[in-house]
Structure 1
């Protein structure tokens, strides 16, 4: 299968790598800035670096739109693709039909979604076999093609429609993005007191391991909020009271935990 990737960010870097590892040809990579595309394709053989969105002479059947959510509609409107192409985006938060904008110039186009449920950073490889791939397409033929591609790189492939995917994306933000932000706040609190964040890492690791093993993460919740340890909670509040924003986060999370276990 020959694919073209539109975008040169974190996810595009990972897709280029995993496709190359599985002998899936990447014919083209598009980026408005040529150097960005070159930075993720330097080792690929015979890849075409594009800085325009005219793919009318492309050898690819599948075009993967790996750009930011806010750019999807704008880029889709400008695409010129070969007849009977398949265009997918990789967003968890956008519905499939945002790609309908591409049909104004490409009436024979089929659209879909190829969403990897994972956090990606350029240069840090992940085991794609363990990455859940959430698929959607507007017809069975295109879905079968996406499924074949997905199963060649991952052991975790599911058909997930736009409504389900939006809910999954919210859950992912709580499970990943918000959690990481809590670690960042923890580091700031430690740093302000000249304490080493390394001391907290074994605790973070053990918390993660217990949550993964538990039937429900709520079953292994610990801490002063779940114990209704009001004296400790008040001591914590006094320590961070000068930072109103941080105190607000602490109070909100404490209340959420207490309400859960009432």
Structure 2
């Protein structure tokens, strides 16, 4: 259950990319106040400001940020250190980044000037997509208990899944997220291109994609593994590799994934490595 009776917090959002475009309006809808924005790209900043209440004024420079309870850095990881060095935050300000792999220690050089935190939403963000924020895990970390409590207040109005994770565990979570989101998306793209090259519609694979994901959520994915690799179907594997001859990068990736599937299957208990009667 979302907590909606918490005192509204004043938030300044630094960044106007995909995360900010979803997070800033969600914070407003949850009852918090976005009182300022700053963006490296003035056009993106203006576009986001236009979707927010008039109180969310664009700051012309990092040295002119308005007072706030929380400053959220929705920026690429590599940009955060430069922004921290250039920005002028009020003394003792709570500044939190939204990155999965960036450690809390990025704030260490500024421990005398500000309090650091992490407000990491575990989700993929894209234009035109609606995010069900109540289901999004929000992973928090902070340099002190008071800062952590404030981040909890910010998160509790957004999500029913708020967790405290230190930098080491958050890094492992981020790596896992890349494996289950970014890499499969790339593989789906390859599948789509192969169909297009054969004059076949992408929609042919939609039911298979849905069943694959549903099955992986219903049981351990390694146990649910099917296909010619896990069956050691050498003839089919050879035909697939031949069909990929015109795309050597994809052919190499196919071989590497086949080897990984077979090596992983070899480590599973015999009862789990029985193919479950499924074929593809």
Instruction: Indicate the TM-score class for this superposition, using the shorter chain for normalisation.
Output: over 0.9
Q: Distance in 2 between matches of 1:92 and 1:249?
A: 26
Secondary structure, counterpart of 1:261 in structure 2: helix
1:47 aligns with 2:56: yes
TM-score by length of 1: 0.95
* Rounded Cα–Cα distance in structure 1 between residues aligned with 2:94 and 2:227: 50
- Matched with 1:207 is 212
Instruction: Say whether 1:112 aligns with 2:117.
Output: yes
Instruction: Extract unaligned runs of 5+ from structure 2.
Output: 1-8, 267-280
C-alpha deviation, 1:163, in angstroms: 0.8
Q: CA deviation at 1:23?
A: 1.5
CA distance in 2, matches of 1:82, 1:73: 17
Aligned: 1:30 with 2:35:
no
Contact 2:25–2:52 under 8 Å retained in 1: no
Contact 1:55/1:82 (8 A) holds in 2: no
Deviation larger for 64-73 or 121-130 = 121-130
Asked whether the 8 Å contact 2:31–2:157 carries over to 1, the reply is no
Instruction: Give the match for residue 242 of structure 1.
Output: 246
CA–CA separation in structure 1 for the residues paired with 2:43 and 2:182:
29
Any runs of at least 4 consecutive aligned residues in structure 1 with deviations exceeding 6 A, and if so which? none
Does the C-alpha gap of structure 1 residues 123 and 29 become closer, same or farther in structure 2, counting only changes over 3 Å?
Answer: farther
Normalising by structure 2, report the TM-score.
0.89
Aligned mates of 2:180, 2:92 — CA distance in 1? 38
> How far apart, CA to CA, are the structure 2 residues paired with 1:154 and 1:60?
22
Query: Does structure 1 conserve the Cα–Cα contact (< 8 Å) formed by 2:25 and 2:51?
Result: no
SS at 1:258 equivalent? helix
1:52 is paired with a residue of what secondary structure?
A: coil
Structure 1 contact 34–50 (Cα < 8 Å) conserved: no
Gapped runs of 5+ residues in structure 1?
Answer: none
Per the alignment, residue 129 of structure 1 pairs with: 134
* Residue 229 in structure 1 maps to residue 233 in structure 2: yes
Structure with greater helix share of residues: 1
CA-atom RMSD in angstroms: 1.3
Distance, in Å, in 1 between the alignment partners of 2:68 and 2:168 is: 29
Q: Deviations over 1:182-232 (max 9, x none)?
A: 000001111111111110111001101111111x11121111111111111
1:63-74 matches, cutoff 5 A = 63-74=71-82
